[in-house]
Structure 1
Amino acid sequence: MRQLIQNLKTGETTLETVPAPQVRAGQVLIRTRRSLVSLGTERMLVEFGRASLLSKARQHPDRVKQVLEKISTDGLMPTLEAVFRKLDQPLPLGYCNVGEVVAVGAGVTDLAVGDRVASNGPHAEVVCVPRNLVARIPDGVSDEQATFTVIGAIGLQGIRLLSPTLGETVAVIGLGLIGLLTAQLLRLNGCRVIGLDPDETKLTLARQLGIDALNPAQTDAVSAVTELTGGVGADGVIITASAKLNAARTDTIMAQAARMSRKRGRIVLVGVVGLHLNRADFYEKELTFQVSCSYGPGRYDTAYEQHGHDYPLPYVRWTENRNFQTILHLIQTGQLPVDPLITEVVPLTDYQQIYGQLDHPSGASARIASLLSYPDGSQPLGTLVTLRESAVGQTAGVIGMIGAGNFAASTLLPDLHKAGATIRTIASANGLNGTLLAKKYGIDRSTTNYHDMLTDPAIDLCVITTRHNSHAQLTIDALQAGKHVFVEKPLAIYEDELTAIIAAQQTAGRMVLVGFNRRFSPTAQKAKVLLGGDNAGAVPMNVIATMNAGAIPANAWVHDRAVGGGRILGEACHYIDLITYLTGSRVVSVCLNAMGQQPTETTDSASLLLRHENGATGVINYFANGSKAYAKERIEVYSQERTLVLDNFKSLTGYGFQGFSRLSGRQDKGHAEQCRQLIQMLRSGGPSPIPFGEIVNTTQATLAALRSLQESRWVSV
């Protein structure tokens, strides 16, 4: 299938051929018929992509601050590489999709194959969308009309926040597509609407729709609104304009909105403008200001959007899905005419007819709503795309990669590429990320069905970099298919999963390696040598590892016990493995003490105590409440009146070691060396870079730590 994407580094808009997504539980697979181009939003993405690096930085000063903090802790080059990798990740365009249901996932019972639906799916021939972001299209509403569902809901949510009453006067600043829809919806609420926009084409259309339209470039907007309201001012102002790149215009918009409002008026921001507010403008009139969030309640709530948990109607009357339904009903009954807003319908393959003019004022102003039309759907849905003829031949150690997220793109694929790995297939859920990475790294095939690589006899190893809750089953599937496995940590998030993996590995007799990369760092390996190498375990030692992890949002998937397993399980496992490596001994018991009063299922600020078979002890301090200006990782080893300090995997300092005082260099956490040893093992044979028994012990210790947290006691491993 084909999909439109935007490159944020170059500003180029392209139509990519990617494998079609597969339907997932709680989601709906839709073959697209029409989609609407959100000219304002998508124009901003195009302009941002085409801007210089300095201009990009000026637009996001908060991100610049984060970059400077990262430079201070991780160094200049690693930070710059991370920034450029981020910019190199293209974005899918579009969020106003109409099509026909071709499959429904488990748990979806109120939609069926053949239903016409509107969703927030992107500009792609096939989209997979969570159920709560899909609405059935009623009879009498054409595909073209239904494309206004999602963008209409954006305007509707702004109105719901404004809470207009019958007879009030509302000014709408910005008469683009959202502005014109908002103005019509306000008129349906019994409001008098005054629209403001400098574009005469839009003003003419607004007047045809019964809106009092003014050009602020030709008249004093504040005086005009004040006069039209008998000197009172507007009861409410809804800003639907986009002026983020023009600070002067932003100041004008916000100031005008405040000055044209009556005392105790309300202002709602739906569009994108900087918030350069003048306190005096708001203070004297006691104005209320609010920013509207997209389609309505439920937006960005994982429980609502991804897990399908609806809000009860008596308590949340208007969710984003119910807003979708409202817009469709208004179109069906003729109360919201959208046909006059349609400027053109362009075949998907002619997308440049629209996007080639987005950043040209003359081309953009001539358009209100541009629609893309799609093929009739007679072509089969392909989940595998071949990008080049296979170069695998009889090569040993061929790899298939499952997962194409940030870690795979930023770290694992570059390091595997440097190690000379031969990667035949990459699988990703949406098909886009995997295809773009395949092109970048010379991978033969991209798929959305990972079974394509399990049944491929040319593939020897499966690399798994998906979300944590899928690691165990994917590992078992790969082992049962006779493949070696390299899985990003953690190996499993529940004990029964680990038991099943052990059984599958014993039956298959294949290697299972986990991405415990810290032990492969040059500083960690030098520390191991200084401590005695393979004989390091002869004398017990004390190890203290501190991770200044930093806070992440409470709703991040990593915190979810059933999805990410929590940060101790997902990240602190690195340090259990590292301490096992340094001490030369496995863990026998653990005790986890978390910050706070009550036992919890997961935590991200805790101290973990380890006892090892040889009497060594470890302390892992995993904290999320420290300063980001402080180094992220620090390991201290105390043994035989000697001390080693490993600082952020950039330096190793020794105290009491004859002939050694310090090793320093660029930060290196061991990813590249682990990849090198992995490829060498695949091609030449030999033992796994990490013994499977140690991997199992580390996983058992981490799971035991979570039991310790809940039961407030030491737990044996």
Structure 2
Amino acid sequence: MKQIIQDLKNGETILEEVPVPMIKPGQVLIKTTKTLVSLGTERMLVEFGKANFIQKAQQQPDKVKMVLNKVKTDGLKPTMDAVLNKLNQPLPLGYCNVGEVVKVGRGVTEFNVGDRVASNGNHAEYVLVPKNLVAKIPDNVSDEEAAFTVIGSIGLQGLRLLNPTFGETIVVVGLGLIGLVTAELLLANGCNVIGFDFDPEKIEIAKKKGITAINPGEGSDQVKFVESYTNGIGADGVIITASNKSNEIISQSANMCRKRGRVVLVGVIGLNISRADFYEKEISFQVSCSYGPGRYDEEYEIKGNDYPIGYVRWTEKRNFEAVLNAIDRGVLKVKDLITERIAINNFEQIYGDMRNSKTIASILEYDSTTSPRSTVNIASRSFEGKKGVLGIIGAGNFTSSTLLPNLKNLNADIKYIASSGGLSSTIMAKRHNIAKSTTDYKEILVDEEVDLVIITTKHNMHAPMVIEALQAGKSVFVEKPLALNNNELNQIINEYKSQNVSVSVGFNRRFAPIAKKMKKLLGNDNTPLNIIATMNAGFIPSDVWVHDMEVGGGRIIGEACHYIDLCSYLSGSTVKAVCMNSMGSNPEENTDNVSILLKYENGTNAVINYFSNGSKAYSKERVEVYSQERTLIMDNWRKLKAFGFKGGNQSSKQDKGHYNQFKELLDQQRDGGYPIISFDEIVNTTKASFAAIESLKKGKWIEID
């Protein structure tokens, strides 16, 4: 299928061929008929892509601070690699989609195949959208009218926050597409509406709709005009739908208002607010968030859990439905806003020069007669007779920034890369000469040429995919963790016993050059060690999926397992008991700041301090090992200091062991030999991570079976 994307690195807007998304629970697959180009929002993305590095930095000063902190801790090259990797990930454009439902996911009951629907899907021939971001289109509303649903919802949400009443005077600053729709909704609400814009064509359209429209470029003073219009009282409220970096807009908006007036920001403007402008009249100011309640809430959007209507009357989906109802009743007229209708193949007519475009609303039209394909061929390559042929499932940040660059340096034979949406896998396939991009990972499992499957998906998908790969007779490498609970782990163990293949987990720290040197210095005489390992992990907001025990497993199972494995590697032993304590008065609720005490079979004592409340300027990882009146101190995988050893000091660029790990993995797959980490060790580390959580809950040591 075809999809429009924006390359953030070189600024190109591209019509890309990608595989059709695979249906998921709680989602609907839509075959697109029309999409609406949101000129303001999409122009910002296009211009950001075209900007050079300095201009990009100037637009995002908060990101610059993060980059500088990363340079201090990780060094220049890893930081630049991370920045370039981020810019190498193109953005899908568009969020106003109309089409026909062709598939419904498990748990979706409100939609059927054949329904006409509006959604926030991208500019693509097929889109996969969560059910709470989809609304049915009334029979009397055309597809191109319905394409205004999401734009209308953005304006409607701003209106709801302003809470205008019948007869009030409301000013709309910026009569672009969202501004014109907002102004018309205000008219339907019984308000007197004043609109300001510098574009004469937009002023004329607004006047035809009954809006008092003024062009400040013709000499009118906006504040004085509002004062005159309201007989010196001032506007009851102002909705800002403009896109402008100037701070003057927010100041003028406050000065237009009556005492205790309201200002709501829907657009993007400078926000250097003067206290005096708002203080004397006690003016309220609020920023509107997209389409309404539920936006960016994973529980609502991804998991499909609706807010009770008695408590949240207008969610984003209900706003979609309200806009469609307004169009159906003729209260909101949008057809006269359409400036042009362009076939998707001629997209450059819209995106070629957006800065000088005079269009109000551009409709992209789709007429795809081709059958949807879940796999597209990217590079012509032969894998016949080869060993170590890879299929990668997962095309997220780890795959892009770490996995693929290392595999490229190792000349790995990669036949497939799979992603649920198809876009990220296609971009990575093109960049790394991978033969096929797919949205159906099962095609990897049935391909006899693939003998090693690499899984880098979200944590809750690891165990089920590992089991499927083993059942297909494939060797597996899975990013940590292997499983999220004992039930999953036991299923993997049972399946592993019945197959003659290998299972590896991405415990890369033991493969780092410094870790290997530490192990060599310590020797293999099974002498007990004292180990203190500290992970200055950094804060992650509570709503991020990693914290969800059913999806991410929490940070101990999902991340701290790295250091359990590292301690096991350095000690040369296995964990036999675990005790974990957490910071705070409710320790069970805080697994971000914990100390894990590990008791090993050979008498080694290890403490893992996993903290999220430290400074980002401090080293992220540190390991201290004490043995036989000798000490080793590793600092952030860049420095090793040895006390009591000869020739132990080392300083180098940061290397966390990924390259060595994948080299040994490929060598083992091609040439045979022992697994890069024994399966028993992997199981022991996984059980130890589960035991840490159990220990915190029960407040005691937990023995490992």
Same fold (TM over 0.5): yes
**Counterpart for residue 520 of structure 2:** 529
Q: SS in structure 2 opposite 1:145?
A: helix
Q: How does 1:485-504 map to 2 (within 5 A)?
A: 485-504=476-495
AA in 1 matched with 2:699 = S
Letter in 2 for 1:227: S
The DSSP-based 3-state class of the residue aligned with 2:498 is helix
- CA displacement at 1:379 relative to structure 2: 2.2
Residue 407 of structure 1 aligns to a residue whose secondary structure is: helix
Map of 1:292 onto structure 2:
288
Give me the whole-angstrom Cα distance separating, in 2, the residues matched to 1:687 and 1:216. 76
What is residue 16 of structure 1 aligned with on the other side? 16
2:626 paired residue number: 638
How far did residue 405 of structure 1 move? 0.2
Residues 140-178 of structure 1: CA deviation (Å, up to 9, x unaligned): 000000000011000000000000011111110110000
The CA distance in 1 between the partners of 2:365 and 2:412, in whole Å, is: 41
Out of 351, 364, 381, the position equivalent to 2:347 is 351
Residue 332 (structure 2) pairs with residue 373 (structure 1): no
Matched residues in 2 for 1:84 and 1:438: separation? Answer: 17
Structure 1 residue 231: deviation in Å? 1.1
Measured in 2, the distance between the counterparts of 1:370 and 1:653 equals: 63
Q: Secondary structure at the match of 1:298?
A: coil
- TM-fit CA distance, 1:278: 1.1
Match of 1:484 in 2: 475
CA contact (8 A) 1:33 1:99 kept: yes
TM-score between both structures, scaled by the size of structure 1 = 0.97
Match of 1:585 among 555, 570, 573: 573
Between 1:608-617 and 1:598-607, the stretch displaced more is 598-607
Question: SS in structure 2 opposite 1:577?
Answer: helix
Q: 1:695 aligns with which of 669, 672, 682?
A: 682
CA contact (8 A) 1:599 1:712 kept: no
Deviations 1:599-621 (A, max 9, x none): 53761110000000000011000
- Structure 1 partner of 2:60: 60
1:446 maps to which of 432, 437, 455: 437
Q: Whole-Å Cα distance in 2 between the matches of residues 446 and 203 of structure 1?
A: 48
Residue among 588, 593, 612 paired with 2:600: 612
Please give the TM-score of this superposition, normalised by the length of structure 2: 0.99
SS at match of 2:101: strand
The residue aligned with 1:397 is 388
Query: How far did residue 715 of structure 1 move?
Result: 0.5
Q: Does structure 2 conserve the Cα–Cα contact (< 8 Å) formed by 1:469 and 1:493? A: yes
> 2-side partners of 1:310 and 1:224: how far apart?
44
Q: Secondary structure at the match of 1:144?
A: helix
| Native 8 Å contact 1:346 1:373 kept in 2 | yes
SS of 1:600's equivalent?
helix
Q: Deviations over 1:54-94 (max 9, x none)?
A: 11111111111111111111111111111111111100000
Q: How many residues align?
A: 703
1:555-704 equivalent positions in 2, closer than 5 A: 555-598=543-586, 600=588, 603-657=591-645, 659-704=646-691
Query: What is the alpha-carbon distance in structure 2 between the residues aligned to residue 186 and residue 342 of structure 1?
Result: 20
Q: What corresponds to 2:376 in structure 1?
A: 385
Aligned residue runs from structure 1 range 119-134, under 5 A: 119-134=119-134
**1:360-384 Cα shifts (integer Å, max 9, x gaps):** x2xx2x2111010101x53211101
SS in structure 1 opposite 2:295? coil
5+ long unaligned stretches in structure 1: none
2:170–2:237 CA contact under 8 A, matched in 1: yes
User: Within 1, Cα distance between the matches of 2:342 and 2:605?
Assistant: 68
The code of the aligned residue for 2:406 comes to D
Distance 2:509 2:361 in 1: 53
Does the alignment pair 1:707 with 2:699?
Answer: no
Cα distance in structure 2, aligned partners of 1:678 and 1:109: 45
- Match of residue 168 from structure 2: 168
- What is the root-mean-square deviation in Å for CA atoms of aligned residues? 0.9
Q: Among residues 317, 321, 324, which one is paired with 1:321 in the alignment?
A: 317
Report Cα offsets for 1:640-664 as digits up to 9, x if no partner: 000100000001101111x224101
The answer to whether 1:339 aligns with 2:329 is no
How many Å apart are 1:197 and its aligned residue? Answer: 0.6
Contact 2:259–2:281 (CA under 8 A) maintained in structure 1: yes
DSSP 3-state at the match of 1:223: helix
SS at match of 1:307: coil
Amino acid at match of 1:231: G
Q: CA deviation at 1:596?
A: 2.2
> Structure 1: which amino acid aligns with 2:366?
Y
What secondary structure is seen at the aligned counterpart in 1 of 2:216?
A: coil
Is 1:225 matched with 2:235? no
The answer to whether the 8 Å contact 2:580/2:596 transfers is: yes
**Given residue 242 of structure 2, which amino acid in structure 1 is its aligned partner?**
A
2 CA distance for matches of 1:203 and 1:391? 61
- The amino acid of 1:213's aligned partner reads A
The alignment partner of 1:625 has SS state of coil
Partner of 2:258: 262
- Aligned residue in 2 for 1:550: 538
Runs of 4+ that moved beyond 3 A: none
Aligned equivalent of 1:78: 78
1:90 maps to 90
Confirm or deny: 8 A CA contact 2:581 2:587 kept in the other structure: no
- Correspondence for 1:458: 449
Contact 1:567-1:602 at 8 Å conserved across structures: no
The alpha-carbon deviation at position 487 of structure 1 amounts to: 0.2
Do the aligned partners of 2:481 and 2:505 also contact (CA within 8 Å) in 1? yes
Whole-Å separation in 2 of the counterparts to 1:396 and 1:429: 27
Distance in 1 between the 2:381 and 2:632 partners? Answer: 49
Q: Identity, % of aligned pairs?
A: 58
How far is 1:334 from its partner?
0.5
Q: Which residue of 2 aligns with 1:306?
A: 302
Q: Secondary structure at the match of 1:508?
A: coil
Within 1, Cα distance between the matches of 2:87 and 2:371? 33
Deviation for aligned residue 1:445: 0.3
Q: Conserved in 1, the CA contact under 8 Å of 2:196 and 2:215?
A: yes
Q: Distance in 2 between matches of 1:409 and 1:257?
A: 45
Cα drift, residue 391 of structure 1: 2.6
CA contact (8 A) 2:535 2:611 kept: yes
Check conservation: 2:521, 2:648, Cα contact below 8 A.
Answer: no
CA distance in 2: counterparts of 1:236 and 1:546, whole angstroms = 53
Q: Secondary structure at the match of 1:282?
A: helix
Contact conserved, 1:568 with 1:602, CA < 8 A, in 2?
no
- 3-state SS of 1:262 partner: strand
Give the CA deviation at 1:506: 1.0
- The alpha-carbon distance between structure 1 residues 109 and 602, as it changes in their structure 2 partners (threshold 3 A), is farther
CA-to-partner distance for each residue in 1:28-71, whole Å, 9 max, x for gaps?
A: 11000100000000000011111111111111111111111111
Which residue is equivalent to 2:507? 516
C-alpha separation in 2, matches of 1:63 and 1:554: 21
